[in-house]
Amino acid sequence: MTSATLRRATVSGAVLLSLLAVPAHATADESGTAPTSAAALPQPDITGLRGVLRTALRQGAPGAMARIDDGTTVHRMVTGLADRKTRRTISTRDRFRIGSVTKTFSAVVLLQLRDEKKLKLNASVNRYLPGLLPDDRITVRHILSHRSGLYDYTNDMFARAVPGFEAVRTKVFTYRQLVDRSLRHARTNSPGAAYAYSNTNFVVAGMLIEKLTGHSVGTAYQSRIIEPLHLRDTLYVHPATTIPGRHTRGYMTSDTAGAAPIDATRQTTSWAQSAGALISTAGDLNTFLSALLGGKLTSAGSLEQMQRWWKVNSTTAYGLGLRRRTLSCGTSVYGHTGAVQGYYTYAFTSKDGRRSLSALANTSNNGAVLNTMMGTLESAFCGKRAATVRGSAHVERHEDVAPGVALD
């Protein structure tokens, strides 16, 4: 394991979109938790964070890493392998598939379109995509907050994790094909009635982006987020199957006990697209989340809309493509988790965006590792050695884009 602390270089050039002149303001937290700035946070527990990463290795991850950006200070920690064949050590500079963290990118684009008066959150999805959904009451807000009631098509697709993945590894789907898979099933609830995580929602979000911008989602990410923030390692390569440049390989846990992990790196991720197909690095994710919570990607009003929370459980709430987690020390952090075949990602930031953590384990369908990696948040933001996380109560079953995770 290696660790480094260094000064971050100043990035030259404008990184803000023209619509961002008005700074975001803090919004009321419905849980009663006071907003926490990075300045008020204790120092990260680097020793505890190393321990979390090592535990993930003992539980079956080939490698694990974490990066904390805290003002001008950066902490980098790695352990294990990026590639089981070549035995190359994992690096925080490696690219990887970020899974459902893509959802936050998609939500940001739609909130920017709201700022441009091209979209209304409370308007019916069918207003913009006529005839797509069977209920005109399903709004854009419902889609972005997982309250549409649309069935998650991945429940069927990955009912058996490894065979399900191999069946779609190289397939290319249209958005409509994925939505149609959802519509074969009854809806899980009436629009707006309840939170129910569903990838279908963010497939519809991708369709909205393409309809309202006249461009692909990849082009929208590039022009609206990636280029303005100089995210040099963030890519949307769908339907290509490879990760360009230096990257961490991802491994699925075999369905056969004791068998070697399955290299899942090569895939189209077409089953996810705007719900989970982006590639990035820990540094780029921290830059993105810092910019978002710092009010540099949307207007203040749209950022406030993203943080209108719907309670998920005792520690988690969901806004518009954004999660809020309340940690054991009472601090709330904001971001998203990501699970895609071969990769588990945690990417969160403080209320003011000044301290950000991105952590990765290059494995999937391993509930023990998924739970353990949540401990990176405790170490990064609570400043104490994180206790081992046990049991499924701490992690929502369909939290990410790869169901088929059997939580212990």
CB atoms under 10 Å from CB of 192, counted, come to: 16
Residue 333: enclosing H or E segment and its boundaries? Answer: strand 332-340
- The secondary structure of residue 12, as a DSSP letter, is P
CB atoms under 10 Å from CB of 4, counted, come to: 11
Q: Which of 37, 100, 270, 302 is catalytic?
A: 100
Residues 261 and 254: their CA atoms lie apart, in Å, by: 5
Residues 323 and 304: their CA atoms lie apart, in Å, by: 13
Residue type, 73: T
Residue 311 tokens read as: 């309670």
**Helix-helix angle 102-115:199-213, to 10 degrees:** 40
How many helices (H) and strands (E) the chain has is answered by 13, 14
Residue 317: enclosing H or E segment and its boundaries? Answer: strand 316-318
100 counts as catalytic: yes
Residues 389 and 284: their CA atoms lie apart, in Å, by: 27
Three-state SS across 277-313? CCEECHHHHHHHHHHHHCCCCCCHHHHHHHCCCEECC
DSSP annotation string for 85-143: TT-PBP-TT-BEE-GGGHHHHHHHHHHHHHHTTS--TTSBHHHHSTTSSS-TT-BHHHH
**Helix-helix angle 46-58:375-382, to 10 degrees:** 170
Residue 34 tokens read as: 């006071």
Tell how strand 251-252 and strand 363-364 pair up. parallel
Rounded to 5°, the CA angle 229-23-28 comes to: 115
SS3 394: helix
Residues 325 and 45: their CA atoms lie apart, in Å, by: 18
Contact 361, 64 (CB under 8 A): yes
Residues 386 and 361: their CA atoms lie apart, in Å, by: 17
Catalytic site positions: 100
